[in-house]
């Protein structure tokens, strides 16, 4: 069974959208989305520097646009399940038919703006812990006042909190942790610091008319498959201030019988986790259109299986 997944914030790099805009019709689609949300996605995806696309209000729509665009380039595919990490859940909602493309981009634009405003209240950030025992690490983070905002599995936890708390973590790592890596994000996402964004997103969600998913939709709130579109949107709203449990999503992929995982652009992070946590499952990351032929071959093999 094929699982199609979408990455979260921090996966973006300068110019990553450039080759995708050369595909037939891609530039026109991106231009229409840009007009709809009031943000020049082509500029930010091709010309802007790392600092510009680190801005939450820019990064999030850019990631969703790239995910939808690269998935569409695969052609008419039928994954057995879809999921997204953090903001990638909105991309996955578009994959599943819960939201149409424009609704997904409109929602993520409001999400990015609301989270950027919340992040501006206090200087916060996120850092990935590589290695170590999850229980030991979580207890250590809580002692420092940090939140385990992403429990990603494969020995990776992402801590979130104030810059002072993250500095203390860098000096005092949990036992067994090899390295603490600052992430390219501009706030402590999926923590209480994002509470102000929840209300703003809830207001935006009132304008949506979600459909029930056409394929299995796995929520990173708890790794459960959700079959009702309205509940998926409700989870998208609350999830900005709650931890991401990607470890539980991968457990669900295994229970569902996943045999292959394809990660849409800018892919790499989630297949890296899958390689360590789901041995035997084939993986492929869409980084540029050069990866499309290999992805189509993998999809044909595992969709048939």
Q: pLDDT, tens digit, for every residue of 151-197?
A: 998 778 999 999 999 999 999 999 999 999 998 787 899 999 999 99
Helix ranges (H only) for the chain are 26-37, 41-46, 50-54, 56-73, 88-95, 101-119, 134-143, 163-171, 195-205, 229-238, 246-256, 269-277, 292-304
pLDDT given for residue 289 in this prediction: 98
Distance, in Å, from the CA atom of 22 to the CA atom of 197, rounded to the nearest integer, reads 35
The rounded percent of the chain whose pLDDT value lies above 70 is 99
What are the pLDDT digits (tens) for 249-292? 999 999 999 999 999 999 999 999 999 999 999 999 999 999 99
Compute how many other C-beta atoms are within 10 angstroms of the C-beta atom of residue 243. 20
Q: Is this model's pTM higher than 0.85 or not?
A: yes
Buried b / exposed e over 141-161, threshold 16 CB at 10 Å, is beeeebbbbbbbbebbbbbbb
What value, to the nearest 5°, has the Cα angle with vertex 251 and ends 247 and 253? 115
The token pair at 171 is 């000096």
Instruction: CATH 3.40.366.10 in the chain: give the residue spans.
Output: 2-120+191-304
Residue with tokens 């394809």: 262
Topology at the third CATH level for domain 124-182: Alpha-Beta Plaits (3.30.70)
| Catalytic residue set | 86, 190
Report yes or no: 129 and 240 within 8 Å, Cβ to Cβ: no
pLDDT at 240: 94
CA-based angle 266:96:277, to the nearest 5?
55
CATH of 2-120+191-304, one of 3.40.366.10, 3.40.190.80, 3.30.465.10, 1.10.10.10: 3.40.366.10
Q: How much is the pLDDT for 185? A: 80
Residue 196 has phi, psi (to 5 degrees) of -60, -25
Q: Going by DSSP bridges, is the β-strand pair 2-6/177-182 parallel, antiparallel, or unpaired? A: unpaired
Task: Write out pLDDT tens, residues 73-124.
Answer: 999 898 999 999 999 999 999 999 999 999 999 999 999 999 999 999 999 9
What are the start and end residues of each CATH 3.30.70.250 domain in the chain? 124-182
Contact 178, 130 (CB under 8 A): yes
Closest CA to 241 of 256, 259, 221: 221
Instruction: Write down the pLDDT at residue 61.
Output: 98
pLDDT at 184: 76
Structure tokens at 111: 């999400």
| Assigned token pair, 130 | 């590589």
């Amino acid at each position: 069974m094929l699982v199609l997944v979408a990455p979260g914030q921090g996966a973006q790099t300068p110019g990553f959208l450039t080759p995708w805009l050369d595909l037939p019709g891609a530039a026109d689609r991106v231009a229409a989305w840009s007009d709809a949300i009031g943000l020049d996605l082509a500029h930010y995806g091709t010309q802007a520097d790392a600092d510009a696309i680190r801005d939450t209000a820019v990064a999030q729509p850019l990631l969703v646009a790239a995910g939808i665009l690269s998935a569409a380039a695969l052609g008419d595919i039928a994954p057995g399940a879809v999921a997204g990490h953090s903001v990638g859940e909105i991309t996955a909602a578009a994959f599943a038919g819960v939201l149409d493309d424009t609704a997904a981009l409109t929602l993520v634009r409001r999400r990015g703006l609301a989270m950027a405003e919340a992040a501006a209240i206090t200087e916060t950030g996120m850092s990935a812990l590589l290695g170590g025992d999850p229980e030991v690490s979580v207890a250590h983070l809580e002692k420092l006042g940090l939140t385990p905002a992403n429990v990603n599995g494969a020995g990776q936890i992402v801590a979130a909190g104030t810059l002072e708390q993250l500095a203390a973590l860098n000096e005092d790592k949990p036992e067994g942790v090899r390295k603490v890596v600052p992430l390219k994000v501009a706030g402590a996402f999926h923590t209480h610091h994002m509470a102000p964004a929840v209300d703003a997103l809830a207001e935006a969600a009132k304008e949506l008319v979600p459909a029930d998913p056409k394929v299995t939709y796995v929520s990173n709130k708890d790794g459960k498959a959700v079959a009702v579109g309205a509940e998926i949107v409700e989870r998208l709203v609350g999830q900005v201030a709650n931890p991401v449990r990607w470890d539980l999503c991968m457990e669900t992929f295994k229970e569902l019988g996943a045999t292959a995982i394809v990660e849409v652009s800018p892919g790499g992070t989630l297949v890296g986790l899958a390689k360590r946590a789901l041995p035997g499952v084939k993986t492929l990351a869409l980084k540029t259109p050069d990866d499309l032929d290999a992805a189509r071959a993998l999809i044909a093999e595992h969709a048939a299986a």
